């Protein structure tokens, strides 16, 4: 991966979003259960962000 300012900003922003989603997922999952529709949506969004981050890191 070529590290430049844009990639660095994107990766930092993605990591921040991933951390926020992890916390949110833990809160919702604990409170509403792992099969709750909102918990599942958060989990899917987190998965998507992780895949995007991984793809960004291998470029």
Q: pLDDT (tens digit, 9 = 90+) per residue, 19-53? A: 999 999 999 999 999 999 999 999 999 999 999 88
CA–CA separation, 42 and 20 (whole Å): 10
pLDDT at 1: 39
Please state whether the predicted TM-score (pTM) of the whole model is above 0.75. Answer: yes
Cβ atoms within 10 Å, residue 49 = 17
DSSP count for the chain of H helices, then E strands: 2, 0
Give CA–CA dist 28/58, Å, rounded.
Answer: 31
φ/ψ bin of 33: left (φ > 0), alpha (ψ from -120 to 50), beta (otherwise): left
């Amino acid at each position: 991966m070529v590290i430049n300012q844009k990639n660095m900003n994107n990766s930092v922003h993605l990591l921040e979003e991933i951390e926020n989603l992890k916390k949110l997922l833990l809160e919702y999952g604990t409170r509403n259960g792992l099969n709750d529709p909102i918990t599942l949506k958060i989990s899917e969004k987190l998965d998507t962000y992780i895949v995007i981050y991984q793809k960004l890191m291998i470029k």
